């Protein structure tokens, strides 16, 4: 059976509304082609005749929950890399971490808790784990860091748990980190267990109230290059959750080209060299 490779406008709008409702990801009219390309492979794989049949299955079949996983894998854009946007990583290492360990209410448990929301294939949380490990080893030996990392895409999470990376995604890793925290694995590099065990990966849908309410308090939340796929109402909802999730004096770090202007005034903007972060005071 051959699949009809074009999607009519009515099906596009129903699929777009369905995806938006389930994930917050919004495909504008201009992105119809992108959605078509991303879903087509899955439609062929499952043997559906056309987009309309697939949309009908998603909306009316009892098995739609299982299919959602594959749909999320198909539509998400997982582009990422280690040490992405160095000024933000430096701000975290040189300003945010040193400040957190001086706070009086953190002294009892001496634990810093971090969330990487939209962690993709793991480069962001592993970068944070390496930086934290360097920091605690040299400046705060009695402190512990716990990192949680969540993503909508199960395919991305499974790569993250595997922890094996090619040299392109490692291109910005400083030499001393590469030598200390990775072992060569054929053409690739495997992250060492001492870093792997600092990060707990789980499925997360930032627009799912039940999942978001389960997350415990955090000192720092990284949610970089994720909310660019959301519209304003979804951004507001997600940022409100982040605000509640943060402990006092905690920080939210979003993508370098993103802004919370028109989204919230609850945070204080703190400027660092070449980067900024949103602080809950
Ligand atoms: C471009 S990657 C960004 C990865 C990393 N934060 C970085 O900046 O390098 C965006 C990630 O957000 C995830 N994502 C998109 N919508 C999401 C949602 N509703 N809940 C959780 N993750 C989501 C995607 O699966 C994708 O892995």
Mean pLDDT of the region 115-122? 98
* Burial annotation 62-96 (CB, 10 A radius, 16+ → b, else e): eeeeeebebbbbbbbebebbbbbbeebbbbbbebb
Candidate from 68, 76, 155 with most ligand 1 atoms within 8 A of CB, to mutate:
76
Q: Residue 265 has what pLDDT?
A: 97
Q: Residue 112 has what pLDDT?
A: 98
Evaluate: CB of 80 within 6 angstroms of ligand 1: yes
Q: Residue 163 has what pLDDT?
A: 98
Q: Residue 4 has what pLDDT?
A: 85
Q: Is the pLDDT of residue 253 over 90?
A: yes
Mean pLDDT of the region 169-196? 98
Evaluate: CB of 36 within 6 angstroms of ligand 1: no
Q: Is the pLDDT of residue 90 over 80?
A: yes
Evaluate: CB of 82 within 6 angstroms of ligand 1: no
Q: Is the pLDDT of residue 2 over 80?
A: no
Domains within the chain, CATH numbers bracketed: 9-75 (1.10.155.10), 86-279 (3.40.50.150)
Q: For 165-180, what is each residue's pLDDT tens digit?
A: 999 999 999 999 999 9
Mean pLDDT of the region 98-104? 98
Confidence of residue 1 (pLDDT cuts 50, 70, 90): low
pTM above 0.85, yes or no: yes
Q: Is the pLDDT of residue 5 over 90?
A: no
CA 150 to ligand 1 center in whole angstroms? 9
Ligand 1 atom with the smallest distance to the CA of 255 is 8
Evaluate: CB of 172 within 6 angstroms of ligand 1: no
Confidence of residue 235 (pLDDT cuts 50, 70, 90): very high
Evaluate: CB of 250 within 6 angstroms of ligand 1: no
Question: Whose Cα sits closest to atom 11 in ligand 1?
Answer: 118
Q: Decide: 256 and 85 in contact? Cβ < 8 Å.
A: yes
Task: Classify residue 106 by burial, with Cβ atoms within 10 Å: 0-12, 13-18, 19+.
Answer: middle
Candidate from 114, 120, 147 with most ligand 1 atoms within 8 A of CB, to mutate:
120
DSSP 135-191: HHHHH-TT-EEEEEEEES-HHHHHHHHHTEE-TTTTTTS-HHHHHHHEEEETTEEEE
CA end-to-end distance (rounded Å), the chain: 60
CA 208 to ligand 1 center in whole angstroms? 14
Evaluate: CB of 163 within 6 angstroms of ligand 1: no
């Amino acid at each position: 059976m051959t699949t009809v490779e074009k999607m009519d406008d009515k099906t596009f709008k129903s699929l777009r509304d369905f995806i938006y409702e389930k994930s917050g990801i919004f495909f504008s009219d201009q992105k119809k082609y992108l959605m078509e390309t991303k879903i087509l492979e899955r439609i062929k794989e499952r043997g559906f005749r056309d987009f309309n049949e697939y949309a009908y299955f998603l909306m009316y079949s009892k098995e739609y929950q299982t299919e959602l996983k594959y749909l999320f894998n198909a539509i998400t854009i997982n582009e990422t890399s280690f040490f992405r946007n160095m000024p933000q990583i430096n701000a975290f290492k040189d300003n945010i971490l040193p400040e957190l360990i001086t706070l009086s209410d953190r002294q009892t448990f001496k634990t810093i808790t971090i969330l990487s929301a939209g962690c993709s294939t793991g480069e962001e949380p592993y970068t944070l784990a390496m930086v934290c490990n360097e920091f605690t080893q040299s400046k705060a030996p009695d402190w512990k860091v716990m990192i949680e990392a969540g993503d909508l895409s199960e395919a991305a999470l499974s790569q993250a748990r595997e922890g094996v990376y090619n040299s392109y995604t490692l291109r910005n890793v400083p030499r001393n980190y590469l030598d200390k925290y990775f072992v060569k694995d054929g053409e690739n590099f495997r992250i060492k267990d001492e870093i792997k065990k600092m990060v707990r990966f789980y499925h997360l849908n930032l627009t799912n109230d039940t999942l978001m309410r389960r997350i415990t308090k955090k000192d720092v939340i990284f949610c970089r290059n994720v909310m660019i796929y959301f519209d304003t109402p979804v951004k507001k909802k997600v940022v409100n959750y982040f605000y509640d999730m943060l402990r006092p004096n905690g920080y939210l770090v979003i993508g370098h080209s993103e802004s919370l202007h028109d989204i919230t005034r609850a945070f204080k903007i703190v400027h660092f060299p070449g980067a900024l972060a949103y602080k809950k005071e």
